[in-house]
Chains A and B, each alone.
Chain A
């Protein structure tokens, strides 16, 4: 019954693909088109200017700074967040000490409680998280410096978001804090589907925690890790970094452009400086970076698949 199969498939796909094309791909093509104009975003009139915007972008120091920060976000944030989440998920699900009469494989004591605690930041809107941390980082009366004072470290009172050398790291820490819980839950789910026999076999062979993790858990979890990596990278390049940088280091993006990221720069050019065409140009650059990032991760992350 192969007859008419394709017509059947096309019939089902036409409408969603049409909607996707109209509302996603078409605006996207429009954006690229606008990057060749001098459109301000404040008036319907514009004319074609060729590659002017692109030339300008290549000469723009702030663009290069924002690109640098965005790349750092895309490389470092997934690495830190995912490693941390893997560690936590492992401890919650597998890393526990063997207890008499209990199951052979279990998490550390209180692991179900930790699972909820780790996930908690995910429930909060990123805007609220950013605001809370902006208060915590307040050098005068914020929680962090108050704690430092409280434990007698009066001499160490960093300016946090006010210091160009620290601001970017302070912002990254917030993104890690707010996203790690999601990956703990994701990896926990992945680990739950790994058969317990494998772990028991490893235990019988006398494998320690580290060996179990690197030889059993990580290889069997690789697909999930890879998807997580891409997902986190896109978050770090896009929405999440925008919200956090925009709210915490409000205005131009940190002292001396120390936290400006590409999405923020797009926003500022389009909605503050009335240079929508230039903003779309940076948007195109961001798109290329995002796609390149994904392609690289996919390629480097390719591994043989394990079956169990």
Chain B
């Protein structure tokens, strides 16, 4: 065998090479491991923030109330998600028609953050952004670092359709408030209007000879009946249990009153220890205990759970009104898609049955450092006209922030039931803010580590509440995140 002896490494050629190799290889390792972190600084801040080349203000007229420069370029970046990009392209065409000398630079992408983060860092962001999707930029940070323009001029401008009405008067209730963080300034214009709640198939419910249950006893009875027919009562996006709040939070609001939800949003001490929270957690936990949740649900993602639900494996699913568009290809034609406000506990609840969570979706922002902020706002004003709003609703099966705009167009079953649910709710529309104020707290901590664990049977409601309260307290103390309060 040709084994070399290593008795005397100093004189042994190959051993010396081995040692030198070691150094060489360690250096090579440096070459490998250095890039593993250098990607971060690839988006490090580049040039300074010169505001010198802002577009000159145009002349304010009745037709051009925001004083848009009719020769300045306008750039619009849209999130290309569930709603597609056609509705925005249509609105861009109107902008170009109104300002014939302008060519709008329009682009649609799913990668909002990776596309735009470097541009914010360099101080030359586009004029209008639909900051949505999985790569949404953190609004709290953008506001905290003064990166957004105040949209008050837009809201106080005359509406596109009626010069005697301000834009703010044409919006659905709650939209303007949602765009505020603290104080009067409005940073975000939510364009879509989402109805959250319990989604189900009217056909499946009919086959059980049941109505949508209004009290929890009825809910359990319906689930029992479904179970006997081999159907689970509930399913949900098990890998993303932060879908559960879509029906759980309004239920808490219904049972304990809106103050409970506000206290939770304000991160008040012991907010989660309110008896209403416990009652609702107990109610949901009972679904698990009694075996009414579709088997395997904690391992399903949102698409998988929606598919199982559309196939009739489960009766109810907590979701938002985008589900109609998102699951269009798996929902059968005769499904009878419907949404209901969440079931309450019983008649002693603070708010009536019908209390629902509805709020703005698809957040549009105008960066403060954009060249043509007036142009960005004008584009939004066009989108908030009745015609553009109708165009959106009929194309993507979702309501818009524009109040109305559903007359004369055929509504899809889900949309129709959403409009009916909103009418039934009347004033009892709640809007918990955790999911836009404290993303990580809401999604990871409360959602996955709290509710998800509870609904998988790994925590009792009492343990879940204790854990969630600890998360909330931690967030309240965390100085690295900005804190907000209901006004």
Binding site for B on A (CB under 8 A): 20, 24-25, 27-28, 30-31, 34, 39-46, 56, 134, 137-141, 145, 157, 159-164, 198, 227, 230, 234, 237-239, 249-252, 255-257, 263, 266, 270-276, 278-280, 283-284, 286-287, 290-291, 294-295, 298, 302, 304-308
Given A162-B239, A256-B449, A280-B37, A294-B26 contact (CB < 8 Å): yes
Question: Would B443 and A252 count as touching, CB distance under 8 A?
Answer: yes
Closest 7 CB pairs of A and B: A139-B296, A162-B299, A274-B141, A162-B298, A274-B138, A43-B145, A252-B444
Tell me the minimal C-beta distance from B345 to chain A in angstroms: 28
Question: Would B18 and A305 count as touching, CB distance under 8 A?
Answer: yes
Question: Would B2 and A306 count as touching, CB distance under 8 A?
Answer: yes
Question: Would A279 and B313 count as touching, CB distance under 8 A?
Answer: no
| Most chain B CB neighbours (cut-off 10 Å) among A34, A138, A161, A162 | A162
6 A-B pairs, CB-CB below 8 angstroms? A139-B295, A163-B298, A266-B40, A275-B480, A306-B1, A306-B4
Given A271-B113, A304-B15, A307-B4, A295-B443 contact (CB < 8 Å): no
User: CB within 8 A of A273: which of B3, B4, B35, B440?
Assistant: B440
Given A161-B299, A256-B448, A272-B36 contact (CB < 8 Å): no
Residues on the A chain within 8 Å of B26, using CB: 294-295, 298
Residues on the A chain within 8 Å of B34, using CB: 24-25, 28, 287
Residues on the A chain within 8 Å of B113, using CB: 271
Question: Would A272 and B31 count as touching, CB distance under 8 A?
Answer: no
Question: Would B121 and A41 count as touching, CB distance under 8 A?
Answer: yes
Residues on the A chain within 8 Å of B240, using CB: 250-251
* Alpha-carbon separation in the docked complex, A171 to B239 (Å): 14
* Alpha-carbon separation in the docked complex, A135 to B1 (Å): 51
Q: Does B308 contact A (CB under 8 A)?
A: yes
Q: Does B360 contact A (CB under 8 A)?
A: no
Residues on the A chain within 8 Å of B211, using CB: none
* Alpha-carbon separation in the docked complex, A227 to B300 (Å): 39
Question: Would B31 and A138 count as touching, CB distance under 8 A?
Answer: no
Binary interface encoding of chain B residues 421-445 relative to chain A, with 1 for a CB under 8 A from any of its CBs, else 0: 0000000000000000001100110
Question: Would A42 and B33 count as touching, CB distance under 8 A?
Answer: no
Residues on the B chain within 8 Å of A302, using CB: 18, 22
The stretch that binds A, out of B264-272, B326-334, B396-404, B451-459, is B451-459
Residues on the A chain within 8 Å of B145, using CB: 40, 42-43, 45
Question: Would B138 and A272 count as touching, CB distance under 8 A?
Answer: yes
Residues on the B chain within 8 Å of A161, using CB: 239, 299
Residues on the B chain within 8 Å of A227, using CB: 25
Residues on the A chain within 8 Å of B297, using CB: 139-140, 162
Question: Would A307 and B3 count as touching, CB distance under 8 A?
Answer: yes
Question: Would B296 and A255 count as touching, CB distance under 8 A?
Answer: no
Q: Does B41 contact A (CB under 8 A)?
A: yes
Binary interface encoding of chain B residues 89-124 relative to chain A, with 1 for a CB under 8 A from any of its CBs, else 0: 000000000000000000000000110010011110
The secondary structure that dominates the B interface is helix
Residues on the A chain within 8 Å of B295, using CB: 139-140, 157
Question: Would B31 and A41 count as touching, CB distance under 8 A?
Answer: no
Binary interface encoding of chain B residues 13-56 relative to chain A, with 1 for a CB under 8 A from any of its CBs, else 0: 01101100010011001111111111011111110110000000
* Alpha-carbon separation in the docked complex, A39 to B120 (Å): 12
Question: Would A276 and B299 count as touching, CB distance under 8 A?
Answer: no
* Alpha-carbon separation in the docked complex, A164 to B449 (Å): 10
Q: Does B206 contact A (CB under 8 A)?
A: no
Residues on the B chain within 8 Å of A290, using CB: 29, 33, 36
A266's nearest neighbour on chain B, judged by CB, is B40
Q: Does B321 contact A (CB under 8 A)?
A: no
B235's nearest neighbour on chain A, judged by CB, is A140
B449's nearest neighbour on chain A, judged by CB, is A256
Question: Would B48 and A44 count as touching, CB distance under 8 A?
Answer: yes
Given A44-B49, A162-B456, A291-B29, A27-B44 contact (CB < 8 Å): yes
Using a Cβ cutoff of 8 Å, how many contacts connect chains A and B? 221
Tell me the minimal C-beta distance from A238 to chain B in angstroms: 5
Residues on the B chain within 8 Å of A145, using CB: 296
Given A30-B41, A41-B43, A230-B29 contact (CB < 8 Å): yes
Question: Would A138 and B296 count as touching, CB distance under 8 A?
Answer: yes
Q: Does B135 contact A (CB under 8 A)?
A: yes
Tell me the minimal C-beta distance from A234 to chain B in angstroms: 6
| Most chain A CB neighbours (cut-off 10 Å) among B2, B26, B36, B46 | B36
* Alpha-carbon separation in the docked complex, A278 to B40 (Å): 11
Residues on the A chain within 8 Å of B443, using CB: 251-252
Within 8 A of A (CB), among B278-317: 294-301, 304, 308, 313
Residues on the A chain within 8 Å of B440, using CB: 272-273
* Alpha-carbon separation in the docked complex, A46 to B49 (Å): 13
Q: Does B140 contact A (CB under 8 A)?
A: yes
Q: Does B137 contact A (CB under 8 A)?
A: yes
* Alpha-carbon separation in the docked complex, A284 to B34 (Å): 10
Given A27-B41, A44-B122, A252-B448 contact (CB < 8 Å): yes
Tell me the minimal C-beta distance from B288 to chain A in angstroms: 13
Question: Would A139 and B40 count as touching, CB distance under 8 A?
Answer: no
Tell me the minimal C-beta distance from B47 to chain A in angstroms: 8
Residues on the A chain within 8 Å of B4, using CB: 304-307
Tell me the minimal C-beta distance from B157 to chain A in angstroms: 28
Question: Would B41 and A307 count as touching, CB distance under 8 A?
Answer: no
A145's nearest neighbour on chain B, judged by CB, is B296
Residues on the A chain within 8 Å of B420, using CB: none
Residues on the B chain within 8 Å of A306, using CB: 1-4
* Alpha-carbon separation in the docked complex, A163 to B296 (Å): 10
* Alpha-carbon separation in the docked complex, A140 to B449 (Å): 22
Question: Would B294 and A140 count as touching, CB distance under 8 A?
Answer: yes
Residues on the B chain within 8 Å of A237, using CB: 36
Residues on the A chain within 8 Å of B43, using CB: 41, 276
Q: Does B462 contact A (CB under 8 A)?
A: no
Tell me the minimal C-beta distance from B371 to chain A in angstroms: 16
Question: Would A280 and B1 count as touching, CB distance under 8 A?
Answer: no
User: CB within 8 A of A42: which of B44, B142, B239, B480?
Assistant: B142
Residues on the A chain within 8 Å of B35, using CB: 24
Question: Would A140 and B298 count as touching, CB distance under 8 A?
Answer: no
A279's nearest neighbour on chain B, judged by CB, is B40
Other 11 A-B pairs with CB < 8 A, given A42-B120, A161-B239, A290-B33: A27-B44, A43-B147, A44-B49, A139-B296, A159-B238, A162-B456, A234-B36, A256-B458, A290-B36, A304-B15, A306-B3
* Alpha-carbon separation in the docked complex, A140 to B49 (Å): 52
Residues on the A chain within 8 Å of B298, using CB: 139, 159, 162-163, 255
* Alpha-carbon separation in the docked complex, A236 to B435 (Å): 33
B116's nearest neighbour on chain A, judged by CB, is A42
* Alpha-carbon separation in the docked complex, A279 to B147 (Å): 21
Q: Does B6 contact A (CB under 8 A)?
A: yes
* Alpha-carbon separation in the docked complex, A19 to B125 (Å): 30
Question: Would B14 and A305 count as touching, CB distance under 8 A?
Answer: yes
Residues on the A chain within 8 Å of B120, using CB: 42-44
Question: Would B117 and A41 count as touching, CB distance under 8 A?
Answer: yes
* Alpha-carbon separation in the docked complex, A274 to B140 (Å): 9
Within 8 A of A (CB), among B464-480: 480
* Alpha-carbon separation in the docked complex, A154 to B209 (Å): 31
